[in-house]
Amino acid sequence: MIIDFHCHIFQKYYTREEIETLFNNFRGYGFYERILESMSKLEPIKIDNIVERTIFYIKNSGIDKVVLLPVNSKENLIAKEWYNEAPDIFIPFFNPPEKLQNGVDEMEVIEEAIKLKGYKGFKIMLSFRKKKLNDELLFPTLEIATKYKVPVLMHSGYPPPGTKKGVLTYSNPIVIDDFINSFPKAKIIIAHMGFPWTDIAIALATQYPNVYLDISNLTYMMPDHLKSLLIQAKEIMGVDKILFGTDGFLPEMIEIAVNYFKDAEFLTKEEINKILGLNAQKLLNLT
Protein backbone atom coordinates (compact mmCIF):
# COMPACT_ATOMS: atom_id res chain seq x y z
CA MET A 1 0.00 0.00 0.00
CA ILE A 2 1.23 3.50 -0.90
CA ILE A 3 -0.02 6.40 1.22
CA ASP A 4 0.60 10.05 0.47
CA PHE A 5 0.70 11.60 3.95
CA HIS A 6 1.03 15.21 2.80
CA CYS A 7 -1.27 16.49 0.08
CA HIS A 8 -2.91 19.90 0.04
CA ILE A 9 -6.11 20.86 -1.74
CA PHE A 10 -5.17 21.93 -5.26
CA GLN A 11 -6.56 25.15 -6.67
CA LYS A 12 -8.80 24.78 -9.72
CA TYR A 13 -6.77 27.22 -11.81
CA TYR A 14 -3.40 25.55 -11.24
CA THR A 15 -2.19 24.09 -14.54
CA ARG A 16 1.27 23.50 -15.96
CA GLU A 17 0.99 26.82 -17.81
CA GLU A 18 -0.06 28.64 -14.64
CA ILE A 19 2.89 27.21 -12.74
CA GLU A 20 5.28 28.57 -15.36
CA THR A 21 3.68 32.00 -14.98
CA LEU A 22 3.41 32.00 -11.17
CA PHE A 23 6.98 30.81 -10.69
CA ASN A 24 8.54 32.74 -13.55
CA ASN A 25 10.95 34.49 -11.16
CA PHE A 26 12.44 31.08 -10.27
CA ARG A 27 13.72 30.40 -13.79
CA GLY A 28 17.21 29.01 -13.52
CA TYR A 29 16.61 27.58 -10.04
CA GLY A 30 17.35 23.87 -9.91
CA PHE A 31 14.02 22.83 -8.42
CA TYR A 32 12.00 24.83 -10.96
CA GLU A 33 13.79 23.55 -14.05
CA ARG A 34 13.72 19.97 -12.71
CA ILE A 35 9.96 20.12 -12.04
CA LEU A 36 9.20 21.46 -15.52
CA GLU A 37 11.36 18.78 -17.12
CA SER A 38 9.72 16.03 -15.05
CA MET A 39 6.22 17.25 -15.85
CA SER A 40 6.98 17.34 -19.56
CA LYS A 41 7.44 13.57 -19.42
CA LEU A 42 4.05 12.89 -17.82
CA GLU A 43 0.91 11.97 -19.68
CA PRO A 44 -1.08 15.18 -20.29
CA ILE A 45 -4.82 15.09 -19.65
CA LYS A 46 -7.70 17.51 -20.11
CA ILE A 47 -9.96 17.29 -17.07
CA ASP A 48 -11.54 20.49 -15.76
CA ASN A 49 -12.78 18.99 -12.49
CA ILE A 50 -9.86 19.40 -10.07
CA VAL A 51 -10.89 16.44 -7.92
CA GLU A 52 -11.13 14.11 -10.92
CA ARG A 53 -7.81 15.42 -12.24
CA THR A 54 -6.17 14.79 -8.88
CA ILE A 55 -7.59 11.28 -8.68
CA PHE A 56 -6.27 10.54 -12.17
CA TYR A 57 -2.69 11.26 -11.10
CA ILE A 58 -3.15 9.49 -7.77
CA LYS A 59 -4.18 6.32 -9.56
CA ASN A 60 -1.57 6.78 -12.28
CA SER A 61 1.05 6.90 -9.53
CA GLY A 62 -0.16 3.72 -7.86
CA ILE A 63 -1.11 5.57 -4.66
CA ASP A 64 -3.85 3.96 -2.58
CA LYS A 65 -4.64 6.59 0.06
CA VAL A 66 -4.08 10.34 0.32
CA VAL A 67 -4.12 12.47 3.47
CA LEU A 68 -5.74 15.82 2.64
CA LEU A 69 -4.32 18.75 4.60
CA PRO A 70 -6.46 21.91 4.80
CA VAL A 71 -4.68 25.13 5.71
CA ASN A 72 -7.68 27.14 6.96
CA SER A 73 -11.30 26.76 8.07
CA LYS A 74 -12.63 27.09 4.52
CA GLU A 75 -10.44 24.24 3.34
CA ASN A 76 -11.65 22.09 6.24
CA LEU A 77 -15.01 22.00 4.46
CA ILE A 78 -13.45 21.41 1.05
CA ALA A 79 -11.45 18.47 2.43
CA LYS A 80 -14.69 16.79 3.47
CA GLU A 81 -16.19 17.50 0.03
CA TRP A 82 -13.23 15.76 -1.62
CA TYR A 83 -13.58 12.89 0.82
CA ASN A 84 -17.26 12.53 -0.03
CA GLU A 85 -16.36 12.25 -3.72
CA ALA A 86 -13.76 9.54 -3.12
CA PRO A 87 -13.96 8.13 0.44
CA ASP A 88 -11.88 5.12 -0.55
CA ILE A 89 -8.94 7.41 -1.40
CA PHE A 90 -9.01 10.59 0.66
CA ILE A 91 -8.33 10.85 4.40
CA PRO A 92 -9.36 14.33 5.63
CA PHE A 93 -7.38 16.12 8.34
CA PHE A 94 -8.58 19.21 10.22
CA ASN A 95 -6.93 22.59 10.56
CA PRO A 96 -7.85 23.65 14.15
CA PRO A 97 -8.55 27.26 15.18
CA GLU A 98 -5.22 29.06 15.33
CA LYS A 99 -6.38 32.18 17.10
CA LEU A 100 -8.66 32.76 20.07
CA GLN A 101 -12.20 33.64 19.04
CA ASN A 102 -14.69 35.37 21.32
CA GLY A 103 -17.43 33.06 22.53
CA VAL A 104 -15.92 29.97 20.88
CA ASP A 105 -14.83 26.95 22.88
CA GLU A 106 -11.74 25.87 20.89
CA MET A 107 -11.58 22.53 22.69
CA GLU A 108 -15.17 21.77 21.74
CA VAL A 109 -14.57 22.66 18.09
CA ILE A 110 -11.46 20.50 17.93
CA GLU A 111 -13.05 17.49 19.61
CA GLU A 112 -16.19 17.72 17.47
CA ALA A 113 -14.03 17.58 14.31
CA ILE A 114 -12.70 14.15 15.29
CA LYS A 115 -15.58 12.70 17.27
CA LEU A 116 -18.53 13.80 15.14
CA LYS A 117 -17.31 15.07 11.77
CA GLY A 118 -14.98 12.27 10.79
CA TYR A 119 -11.64 14.03 10.42
CA LYS A 120 -8.72 11.67 10.98
CA GLY A 121 -6.00 13.98 12.25
CA PHE A 122 -4.80 17.58 12.51
CA LYS A 123 -2.75 19.87 10.29
CA ILE A 124 -0.91 22.66 12.15
CA MET A 125 0.04 25.88 10.30
CA LEU A 126 1.02 28.02 13.29
CA SER A 127 4.24 29.27 11.70
CA PHE A 128 2.17 30.88 8.92
CA ARG A 129 0.30 32.80 11.66
CA LYS A 130 3.53 34.12 13.21
CA LYS A 131 3.34 31.63 16.06
CA LYS A 132 5.91 29.03 17.02
CA LEU A 133 5.14 25.34 17.42
CA ASN A 134 5.20 25.58 21.21
CA ASP A 135 2.41 28.19 21.32
CA GLU A 136 -0.21 27.37 23.95
CA LEU A 137 -2.90 27.47 21.24
CA LEU A 138 -1.62 24.06 20.17
CA PHE A 139 -2.22 22.36 23.52
CA PRO A 140 -5.98 21.69 23.16
CA THR A 141 -5.27 20.02 19.82
CA LEU A 142 -2.60 17.84 21.40
CA GLU A 143 -4.98 16.84 24.18
CA ILE A 144 -7.70 15.79 21.73
CA ALA A 145 -5.17 14.07 19.49
CA THR A 146 -3.98 12.05 22.46
CA LYS A 147 -7.51 11.21 23.55
CA TYR A 148 -8.58 9.95 20.12
CA LYS A 149 -5.18 8.61 19.05
CA VAL A 150 -4.97 10.64 15.84
CA PRO A 151 -1.82 12.21 14.31
CA VAL A 152 -0.84 15.87 14.40
CA LEU A 153 1.15 16.98 11.34
CA MET A 154 3.05 20.23 11.91
CA HIS A 155 4.45 22.47 9.24
CA SER A 156 8.09 23.08 10.02
CA GLY A 157 11.04 24.37 8.08
CA TYR A 158 10.94 26.36 4.89
CA PRO A 159 7.68 27.41 3.21
CA PRO A 160 6.63 26.76 -0.40
CA PRO A 161 8.60 28.82 -2.95
CA GLY A 162 7.03 32.22 -3.44
CA THR A 163 5.55 32.47 0.06
CA LYS A 164 5.53 36.14 1.04
CA LYS A 165 5.46 35.58 4.81
CA GLY A 166 8.28 35.33 7.33
CA VAL A 167 7.59 31.67 7.99
CA LEU A 168 11.13 30.48 8.71
CA THR A 169 11.33 32.64 11.83
CA TYR A 170 8.62 30.51 13.44
CA SER A 171 9.32 27.10 11.90
CA ASN A 172 12.25 25.61 13.80
CA PRO A 173 11.08 22.24 15.22
CA ILE A 174 13.44 22.55 18.19
CA VAL A 175 10.61 24.14 20.24
CA ILE A 176 8.75 20.81 20.16
CA ASP A 177 11.25 19.79 22.82
CA ASP A 178 9.57 22.30 25.17
CA PHE A 179 6.30 20.37 25.44
CA ILE A 180 6.71 16.90 24.03
CA ASN A 181 7.21 15.32 27.47
CA SER A 182 3.80 16.69 28.49
CA PHE A 183 2.15 14.83 25.59
CA PRO A 184 4.06 11.54 25.42
CA LYS A 185 1.29 9.73 23.54
CA ALA A 186 0.50 12.41 20.97
CA LYS A 187 1.60 11.24 17.51
CA ILE A 188 3.49 14.25 16.14
CA ILE A 189 4.77 14.48 12.57
CA ILE A 190 7.42 17.02 11.59
CA ALA A 191 6.80 18.01 7.97
CA HIS A 192 9.60 18.30 5.40
CA MET A 193 12.01 16.68 7.87
CA GLY A 194 12.22 20.19 9.33
CA PHE A 195 14.50 21.42 6.52
CA PRO A 196 16.79 23.31 6.96
CA TRP A 197 16.82 22.02 10.56
CA THR A 198 16.98 18.36 9.53
CA ASP A 199 19.53 17.41 12.18
CA ILE A 200 17.19 18.73 14.86
CA ALA A 201 14.17 16.95 13.37
CA ILE A 202 16.01 13.65 13.15
CA ALA A 203 17.29 14.10 16.72
CA LEU A 204 13.75 14.72 18.00
CA ALA A 205 12.42 11.65 16.17
CA THR A 206 15.30 9.60 17.56
CA GLN A 207 14.77 10.74 21.14
CA TYR A 208 10.98 10.61 21.30
CA PRO A 209 9.02 7.49 20.30
CA ASN A 210 5.97 9.55 19.32
CA VAL A 211 7.73 11.92 16.88
CA TYR A 212 7.74 11.11 13.15
CA LEU A 213 9.16 12.75 10.02
CA ASP A 214 7.60 13.27 6.61
CA ILE A 215 9.66 13.84 3.47
CA SER A 216 7.05 15.87 1.60
CA ASN A 217 8.31 18.04 -1.29
CA LEU A 218 11.94 17.03 -0.71
CA THR A 219 11.63 14.44 -3.50
CA TYR A 220 11.39 17.16 -6.14
CA MET A 221 12.97 20.15 -4.36
CA MET A 222 16.26 18.44 -3.47
CA PRO A 223 16.34 14.78 -4.57
CA ASP A 224 20.09 14.31 -4.12
CA HIS A 225 20.11 15.89 -0.67
CA LEU A 226 17.08 13.81 0.33
CA LYS A 227 19.15 10.72 -0.39
CA SER A 228 21.77 11.82 2.13
CA LEU A 229 19.06 12.72 4.67
CA LEU A 230 17.40 9.32 4.37
CA ILE A 231 20.76 7.60 4.75
CA GLN A 232 21.47 9.73 7.83
CA ALA A 233 18.07 8.98 9.37
CA LYS A 234 18.40 5.29 8.53
CA GLU A 235 21.83 5.16 10.19
CA ILE A 236 20.58 6.79 13.39
CA MET A 237 16.97 5.68 13.86
CA GLY A 238 16.02 3.38 11.00
CA VAL A 239 13.12 4.12 8.65
CA ASP A 240 10.11 3.01 10.71
CA LYS A 241 9.08 6.61 11.49
CA ILE A 242 9.61 8.15 8.06
CA LEU A 243 6.50 8.95 6.02
CA PHE A 244 6.14 9.56 2.30
CA GLY A 245 4.37 12.76 1.21
CA THR A 246 4.07 14.71 -2.02
CA ASP A 247 3.05 18.32 -1.25
CA GLY A 248 3.06 19.39 -4.88
CA PHE A 249 1.79 22.60 -6.42
CA LEU A 250 -0.50 20.72 -8.79
CA PRO A 251 -1.70 17.10 -9.26
CA GLU A 252 0.98 16.12 -11.77
CA MET A 253 3.63 16.47 -9.09
CA ILE A 254 2.13 13.54 -7.17
CA GLU A 255 3.54 11.24 -9.82
CA ILE A 256 6.94 12.96 -9.75
CA ALA A 257 7.26 12.32 -6.00
CA VAL A 258 6.41 8.62 -6.30
CA ASN A 259 8.85 8.17 -9.18
CA TYR A 260 11.71 9.20 -6.87
CA PHE A 261 11.66 5.76 -5.26
CA LYS A 262 12.08 3.92 -8.54
CA ASP A 263 15.77 4.79 -8.41
CA ALA A 264 16.31 4.69 -4.64
CA GLU A 265 18.99 2.01 -4.77
CA PHE A 266 20.31 3.11 -1.36
CA LEU A 267 17.20 1.63 0.29
CA THR A 268 16.06 -1.98 0.41
CA LYS A 269 12.67 -2.95 -1.00
CA GLU A 270 11.42 -3.47 2.55
CA GLU A 271 12.59 0.01 3.59
CA ILE A 272 10.94 1.60 0.56
CA ASN A 273 7.66 -0.16 1.31
CA LYS A 274 7.78 1.11 4.89
CA ILE A 275 8.38 4.70 3.82
CA LEU A 276 5.84 4.65 1.00
CA GLY A 277 3.00 3.28 3.05
CA LEU A 278 3.46 0.67 5.75
CA ASN A 279 4.56 3.21 8.36
CA ALA A 280 1.59 5.45 7.55
CA GLN A 281 -0.79 2.49 7.53
CA LYS A 282 0.25 1.69 11.09
CA LEU A 283 0.11 5.32 12.23
CA LEU A 284 -3.40 5.79 10.80
CA ASN A 285 -4.61 2.42 12.12
CA LEU A 286 -5.62 1.26 8.64
CA THR A 287 -6.18 -2.44 8.01
pLDDT (0 to 100) of residue 29: 92
First to last CA, the chain: 10
Q: What is the pTM of this model?
A: 0.95
Structural domain total, the chain: 1
Spatial distance between the Cα atoms of 1 and 118, rounded to a whole number of angstroms: 22
pLDDT (0 to 100) of residue 196: 96
Spatial distance between the Cα atoms of 134 and 103, rounded to a whole number of angstroms: 24
pLDDT (0 to 100) of residue 100: 72
Instruction: Yes or no: say if 275 and 215 are a contact pair by the CB < 8 Å rule.
Output: yes
∠ CA 74-158-285, rounded to 5°: 60
Give the residue numbers spanning the domain of 107.
3-283
pLDDT (0 to 100) of residue 13: 62
| Helix (H/G/I), strand (E/B), else coil: 207 | helix
pLDDT along the chain (287 residues), means of 10: 96 73 86 88 84 94 97 95 97 90 84 96 95 94 97 94 87 97 97 98 98 96 96 97 94 92 94 98 92
Phi/psi at 46 (5° precision)? -120, 90
- At 164, which CATH number? 3.20.20.140
Instruction: Yes or no: say if 39 and 73 are a contact pair by the CB < 8 Å rule.
Output: no
